[in-house]
Each structure stands twice: as C-alpha cells, then as structure tokens.
C-alpha cells in the first residue's frame, strides 16, 4: 500500500506538535531526530523515544514564547534586550553576537544568518568575536528541538524558520496569560494553570 505524503505538511505538523509540547504543555521530547519520527501506513506520524524529556515552568515558557515572537516579528534591539533578560552573557555584550546567538538557537541557521558560513563555524566565530560566557539556563534542549527540525527540513529541501513556525503557538500562550505579571507567576495564584 502506497502512502502519499506532503513534506510541507509533515514539517508544519512536526513544528506545531513540538511547539505545543514546549510552549503549551511545558513538557517535551528533546530528541526529534528523523529516526524517532515514523510515517505510519494510514498517513499519520508517530513519534517515539521520549528518553530525553524536559519540563518548563510557565515563567520559562512565557519567556521563550516572547523570544519566538520577537524573532519572528521584532527588531534586533528587542531581540537582544529580551535574550539578555533571559540570561545571555558575553564578555563585551556585543549586540550583533547576542542577536545571532538567539537566531541560531531559535530561528534560522541559513546562509543569510550565518553570512554564507557553515552554522557550526559561524557559531565558533561568534565566540571568537565576543566570548560567550552564558546562554540562557535551561533552554538548550528546546533550541535542540528547533535545530533538529530545521535539519530535517533542510534534508527535505524545505528550509524554514523555527520562529515563524512556532510563532502562532507562542502567541496563543502569550495571549492566554497577557494579564498576568511576572510576580504572579511565582505565586500560588497560578497553581493548576496550564
């Protein structure tokens, strides 16, 4: 039995599912490489091997959702300011380096962002330009998810922006909690919210 697939739909669905896990559910599979994604005979997708799982608090999810929306729609200055507020530190706090770090982790690693270089070499070059002291604590596995899904997209000849794909889910979360301030996030008022 042949199953016809639309690679665009698969990439969109995988990004939507993982954005939902990370931003809405707050618990996610951090290892969505192609070997853990199955195309079933009925045309549905199966996800396996949840051996690398991470849980995000509501506060962490809101910070990441804000970064995603800024990467999709914001200015360089807004991106840098927010990524610094999340905990990014470099020796000289070079805005160019900080913005590129945010984009590599949660947006794109294409020739435009990496200025024609391989993403790994570009990342290493950023560290030489301005030593990376700290990236936002706890967000590495979420960045890995986006990077793995972008890699799959590139392999399918469908390069994409993680921020653009995840922005609708991020906006949904931000809209739900638009009237909640940072102090309330750490109080018992929101216990049970998800």
Quick one: what percent of the chain has pLDDT higher than 70? 94
Give 81-92 pLDDT, tens digit per residue.
999 999 999 999
The verdict on pTM exceeding 0.75 is yes
> What pLDDT, on a 0 to 100 scale, did the predictor assign at position 191?
46
Q: Which residue has the tokens 């390069």?
A: 159
Q: Collapsing DSSP states into helix, strand and coil, what is residue 113?
A: coil
* Backbone CA torsion sign across 167, 142, 105, 60: positive
How far is residue 149 from each of residues 52, 101, 125, 144, measured CA to CA in Å? 15, 18, 24, 9
Cα–Cα distance for residue pair 148/60, rounded to 1 Å:
21
The tokens for 11 are: 């990439």
Q: Could you state, in order of their start, the residue ranges of all structural domains in the chain? A: 7-180
Alpha-helix residue ranges (DSSP H) falling in the chain: 7-19, 58-73, 76-85, 95-106, 119-129, 140-155, 162-176, 182-185
> What pLDDT, on a 0 to 100 scale, did the predictor assign at position 187?
57
> What pLDDT, on a 0 to 100 scale, did the predictor assign at position 73?
98
The tokens for 123 are: 């990342």
């Amino acid at each position: 039995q042949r199953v016809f697939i639309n690679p665009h739909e698969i990439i969109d669905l995988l990004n939507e599912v993982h954005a939902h896990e990370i931003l809405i559910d707050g618990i996610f599979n951090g290892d969505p490489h192609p070997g853990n994604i199955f195309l079933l005979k009925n045309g549905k997708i199966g996800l396996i091997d949840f051996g690398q799982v991470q849980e995000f608090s509501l506060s962490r999810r809101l910070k990441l959702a804000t970064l995603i929306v800024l990467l999709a729609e914001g200015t360089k200055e807004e991106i840098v300011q927010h990524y610094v507020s999340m905990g990014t530190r470099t020796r000289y706090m070079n805005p160019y380096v900080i913005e590129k770090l945010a984009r590599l982790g949660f947006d794109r690693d294409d020739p435009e962002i990496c200025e024609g270089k391989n993403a790994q070499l570009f990342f290493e070059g950023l560290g030489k330009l301005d030593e990376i002291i700290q990236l936002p604590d706890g967000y590495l596995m979420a960045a890995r998810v986006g990077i793995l899904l972008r890699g799959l997209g590139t392999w399918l000849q469908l390069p994409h922006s993680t921020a653009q794909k995840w922005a609708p889910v991020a906006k949904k979360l931000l809209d739900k909690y638009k009237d909640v301030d940072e102090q309330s996030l750490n109080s018992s008022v929101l216990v049970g919210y998800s």
